[in-house]
Chain A
Amino acid sequence: MSDSENNLRRRVRAGERDAFAELYERHARTVYNHGLRLTSDWSTAEEVMSDTFLAAWQARERLEPEGDSLVPWLLGIATHKAGNARRGARRRLAFLARQPPPPDVTDFAPEVAGRIDDARRLRAVHAALSRLRRQEREVLALCVWSGLDYGQTAEALGVAVGTVRSRLSRARTKLARLTDEEQANTEPLLRRGEVVGEAALAALPVREDTV
């Protein structure tokens, strides 16, 4: 895999059409999910994904010649795109995405119940993330959920590894505090629609009916 990624990197830099087709097939899903975690909006995530690959095509010559996985590069672009999309979409999102997941997913009958839970959880995660600063959120999404290591996260964001560490540490502290707060209050202090953790997740169906 890493060998072929390296080869793919070379071909991507050279602007080979097939290399981009392969790049897309290999990593579109990863980029989409990253966008989804950062924006919590299916259609915005789709835009982020699409724009990311177009931007990658345009920036191909600036790709580092040496390196392993292309994922950090793509997620770096995607993070940037998601940041922009977020700015533009903030009003539209009205804090939590309310639109249903795309039909392809919901139509998958045996999984529907599970998927609804997943969708709810995604919103909960997004709610928690929204308490963090953008930079902390990005590090968290890359490092924790997309599985990049510190070095790769630093590469994606174009910052030093130390910066990744400190942002992650701040994120951790805040999240721990939020979780503590939530435990300390039977009626959470969280703003309307913002929920963290299991108790709040359980309360969500009711909440959704009233929103």
Chain B
Amino acid sequence: MTNHHARRPQARRTGAAEIATLLPAPAEWDVPGERHLHHKERLMRQIDRDHSRTSARTDSGGRASRRLLRPAVMAPVAALAVGAAILTSVTITGGGPSTAGPSRHPAAGESAGTGSALLVQVSRAALENDEVAVRDDQFTYRRATVREADLTSGKAVVGPLRTVESWASQKQGPQRRLGVVRTDGETLPVNAELGDDGTPPGLGRPTYRWLATLPADPDELLAYLEAKTPKTAEVKGQGHDQAAFEQIGSIINQVVPPRTAAALYQAAARIPGVEEAPRAHDAIGRRGVGIAREDAASGTRTEWVFDKDGLTLLGTRSYLVKNTAYGKKGTLLSSTAELQHAVVDTPGQAPVSRRDS
């Protein structure tokens, strides 16, 4: 750093040169190496996402590359950007207060697909949970174990199993700081992705209060979700159903008001092609009763696993069911295991007990 802040404005020179003498020139700083890379990856990922969207549009066959990119949104680095979208539900994992209802096992064989009966039960179980008081100045907390594939390179590269803690701001109105994510001992802010005025509550940032405003009627809710799901995601009819299914999947691991959670499961039950998946398991191998939907267009299958007794969400898993450009049949795209959910006052603060409301 040079030392050139002269204190003699009498020696008037013009323009920039003189100002340079009036104010010390600030030093140059380097972007910390790891942050430099992080933001580069964020940029590259956005470019890839946009490229694949464009090619999906121009490619009349619609090879559904966008479908496959959904897991990429959850890949390690980007997970920070959408950290708010991976928050989970007290109502779901909180294990409702002794709700050992009768016959929790699926009575399969209803018209809308084999999964609908089970989902109706899951929905009822969700409804039995208590409302949680969440203030606007609080944060919803989620701890989960996840394993995800990075698709940036064009091939699914499956990452390590890692524990992610996240805190999502419940503030109303658009926010630039959406919360905080901690993984591998590093705590990073979750910032609004794009746009200048921040992210308002919505599907991309589902606050508890916002979720409570969603229609309680499953048909209305499904219609709403379908309307909000990007049309570019639509590939040969089936794609859109899958998009709606995944949209619901991205909400149910948040802290969701019981009524909304119940409506979401009922809505999922109405999506064609949703079926039971008896062999489903989560990221850490926990088994229970499963719900799945396969997307023929993209060759992916997404499964939700619920605890056999309480019917709370244990986790999810998504993988390829045929050979694609991203990898061979069976390749894991993403998996999660829900560990804890709570509401806390401060981002970065772990909940005191499992649940104290």
A residues adjacent to B (C-beta < 8 A): 15, 17, 20-21, 24-25, 28-29, 32-33, 36-37, 42-43, 46-47, 49-51, 53-55, 57-58, 80-81, 84-85, 88-89, 101-105, 114-115, 117-118, 121-122, 124-125, 128-129, 140, 143-145, 150, 165, 168-169, 171-172, 175-176, 179-180, 183, 196-198, 201
Contacts and interface: CB of A to CB of B under 8 A. Distances in A.
B246 to A, nearest CB: 24
B5 A198 contact: yes
A144 B22 CA distance: 11
Nearest to A125: B26
B266 to A, nearest CB: 38
Interface stretch (B13-21, B63-71, B102-110, B221-229): B13-21
B19 A54 contact: no
Contacts, number: 137
A23 to B, nearest CB: 9
Contacts of B35: 46, 102, 104
B301 to A, nearest CB: 30
Given A32-B29, A117-B1, A180-B9, A172 B15 contact: yes
A46 B39 contact: yes
B31 A49 contact: yes
B23 A125 contact: yes
Contacts of A36: 26, 29
Interface stretch (B40-48, B305-313, B347-355): B40-48
Given A17-B51, A57-B47, A122 B176 contact: no
B1 A53 contact: no
Interface residues of B, number: 42
24 contacts: A15-B51, A25-B40, A29-B28, A29-B30, A29-B31, A32-B29, A32-B31, A49-B39, A54-B193, A81-B196, A84-B197, A102-B32, A103-B32, A104-B32, A104-B35, A105-B29, A114-B1, A121-B24, A125-B25, A144-B20, A168-B19, A171-B19, A176-B18, A183-B7
Given A175-B22, A179-B7, A183-B7, A85 B31 contact: no
B96 interface: no
Given A24-B40, A54-B43, A46 B19 contact: no
Contacts of B47: 15, 17, 20, 57
A63 to B, nearest CB: 15
A55 B194 contact: yes
A169 B5 contact: no
B250 interface: no
Given A57-B47, A197-B5, A176 B42 contact: no
Contacts of B16: 143-144, 168
Given A54-B46, A102-B32, A118-B29, 13 more contacts: A21-B40, A24-B39, A28-B39, A32-B29, A50-B43, A57-B43, A104-B34, A125-B26, A129-B23, A140-B23, A143-B15, A168-B19, A179-B22
A24 B29 contact: no
A28 B194 contact: no
A137 B193 CA distance: 26
Nearest to A104: B32
Interface of B: 1, 5, 7, 9, 15-16, 18-20, 22-36, 39-40, 42-44, 46-48, 50-51, 176, 189, 191, 193-194, 196-198
Contacts of A53: 39, 43
A176 B9 contact: yes
Contacts of B189: 43
A125 B24 contact: yes
Contacts of B194: 51, 54-55, 58
Contacts of A197: 5, 7
A105 B28 contact: no
B9 A17 contact: no
Contacts of A80: 196
Contact of A121 (B26, B42, B176, B193): B26
B27 A104 contact: no
Contacts of A24: 39-40, 43
Contacts of A81: 196
A179 B9 contact: yes
B22 to A, nearest CB: 4
Contacts of A29: 28, 30-31
A89 B31 CA distance: 20
B30 A104 contact: yes
B27 A118 contact: yes
B42 A54 contact: yes
A88 B7 contact: no
Contacts of A124: 24
Contacts of B7: 179, 183, 197-198
Q: Which 3 residue pairs are nearest across A and B when measured between Cβ atoms?
A: A104-B32, A118-B27, A176-B9
Contacts of A46: 31, 35, 39
Given A21-B44, A57-B46, A168-B15, A122 B30 contact: no
Contacts of A57: 43, 46-47, 50
A22 B16 CA distance: 30
A60 B191 CA distance: 23
A191 to B, nearest CB: 18
